[in-house]
Amino acid sequence: MPRMPQWLETAVFYEIYPQSFQDTDGDGVGDLQGIIRRLDYVKDLGCTALWLNPCFASPFLDAGYDVSDYLQIAPRYGTNGDAKRLFEEAHRRGLRVLLDLVPGHTSWEHPWFKASMQAEKNEYTDRYIWTDCIWEEPAGCASLRGISPRDGSCAVNFFTHQPALNYGFLHPEKPWQQPMDGPGPLATREAMRDVMRFWLDLGCDGFRVDMAGSLVKGDPEGKGTVALWRDFRAFLDREYPDAALVSEWGEPDKSLQGGFHMDFLLPWGPTHYNDLFRCASPFFAGKGDASVFVEKYWASYEKTEKKGLICIPSGNHDMDRLARFIQGDSLKIAFAFLLSMPGAPFIYYGDEIGMRYVEGLVSVEGGYGRTGSRSPMQWDESENAGFSSAPKEKLYIPQDPSPDRPTAAAQCGDPASLRSEIRRQIAVRKTHPALQSRGEIRFVSDGAPGTPLSYERTAEGERVLVALNPADEARFCPLTGNVRKTLYQLGEAPAAEGGRLRLAPRSAAWLLLGESQ
Ligand code: GLC
């Protein structure tokens, strides 16, 4: 594992979807100046770092995950100068900034792709994965065909308009498949290093890496992709040793080997993350079962030799809003979990005020069902909830129309609000190493039906017992030490009864323990 930048150990992230955070020029789309204007809000919440979704030039058929110029801020968000200012203003406040690196594909409008479509061989012929003949398709993925003078089909990585960049094949079998160290793949690698250099030189602190596990093809076990990322990490260690890397990979045993500092827990695949937050009966809504999640998390944790650098997000631009499934005190208990787990927590903008999933929105920029989670931030009671001065119908993504929609202003002024609760939780996390990214975890009670979710976190000789009961009835879990101090409590206080801890209905507690009993 690479050396972790110190700031990452204590980081609490805030994810900003730039389109929808704060518009300052009245065009109905958020912008970088808007983010700068709201940095104090993020800092006041207690967050220490930002992850910005892609803000580069793009035709926006996938919210900017379809980059047409890696080195240019999209004009609708501002200029590269604004980005520089954003980094400086963030740093002045002690906040770090991760940009979103999309190394797996570009937009089909990227000049590299346009050049690679040409029949004549040129510098970009091998930048993407093309078969030799239009009648042959790359196996295992969709392709773009019949759009170019070049005779061939081009592999796509995600949507049809996102051709896959060529990092090579682990075991090439066809003449058009290049090895990872072929000239085309090596040139792609160098181009992506240049992209990283450019933004790190301008002042960003690292990257959240999109679809990080998908780069090398014909590589089901990820061996080639791990090797590729080790090489990228070696480059960063030489030139930018403090640059942080967080992966959207979902297999921490692989991504940490590849040199990532942390990996996201994904809502799809085998994680059972959705059992907790997004299903018919989520655990945090009080009636579900967390035990399969715990089992899967533990397996993953053990595979990373208990490094536990698995980031659990409250949500993100791809998931339904948390508040679609969980409300009221249950949301506060869900955050008492998110903010006491190993790895850096990520709060999706607006989740801290319980912003709702806006039902029935028409897709914008390839959002489809995701659009309801991407509506503009609700700042206050003014026009467009303080998001933009544009006429309401000009907002790029419509807002939650409910008269009782939550706002940041109202919640900042209310000590009983969700935001105030999260602010308290973050403050406690920040002062206790056991609760931070690298503190170890041991589950005490796995949240199977009839039981609470409870775990011990330990670091630097400190032990904290976290006990969470979102159910409507009292629950019991083993008490694993003498309670020295209650660090945080929501609802009625827990009570020691024999060797057990009684947790009141809808309550949460973080307890500092003394010696084992
Ligand atoms: C990631 C992004 C998602 C995007 C996709 C393709 O999963 O989070 O929003 O559509 O990659 O880049």
**How does strand 206-209 pair with strand 96-101?**
parallel
Q: CATH fold of 6-104+186-428, please?
A: TIM Barrel (3.20.20)
Please tell me if the CB atom of residue 158 comes closer than 6 angstroms to any atom of ligand 1. Answer: yes
What are the backbone angles phi and psi of residue 183, rounded to the nearest 5°?
-60, -40
Fold of the CATH domain 439-513 = Immunoglobulin-like (2.60.40)
Residue 515 has pLDDT above 70, yes or no: no
Q: What is the per-residue pLDDT across 63-113, written as a single tens digit (0 to 9) for each?
A: 999 999 999 999 999 999 999 999 999 999 999 999 999 999 999 999 999
> For the segment 278-327, what is each residue's pLDDT rounded down to a tens digit?
999 999 999 999 999 999 999 999 999 888 799 999 999 999 999 999 99
Alpha carbon separation from 339 to 49, 273, 344, 405, 436 (Å, rounded): 14, 15, 8, 24, 8
Q: Is pLDDT at 5 greater than 90 in this prediction? A: yes
310 neighbors 345 (Cβ within 8 angstroms): no
CATH code: domain 105-164 is: 3.90.400.10
Are the beta carbons of 462 and 497 closer than 8 angstroms? no
Q: For residue 306, what pLDDT is reported?
A: 80
The predicted pLDDT at position 516 comes to 53
Q: How far is the CA of 158 from the centre of ligand 1 (A)?
A: 8
Domain ranges of the chain: 6-104+186-428, 105-164, 439-513
161 lines ligand 1 (CB under 6 A): no
Say yes or no: CB of residue 211 within 6 Å of ligand 1: yes
Whether the pLDDT of residue 347 is over 70: the answer is yes
Q: What is the pTM of this model?
A: 0.98
Please give the average per-residue pLDDT across 236-248, as a whole number.
97
Tens of pLDDT, residues 138-181 = 988 899 999 999 999 999 999 999 999 999 999 999 999 999 99
For ligand 1, is residue 65 a contact (CB within 6 Å)? yes
Give the pLDDT mean for 42-58.
98
Interval between CA 155 and ligand 1 midpoint (Å) = 17
* d(C-alpha 118, C-alpha 138), whole Å: 19
Q: How confident is the model at residue 517 (pLDDT cuts 50, 70, 90)?
A: very low
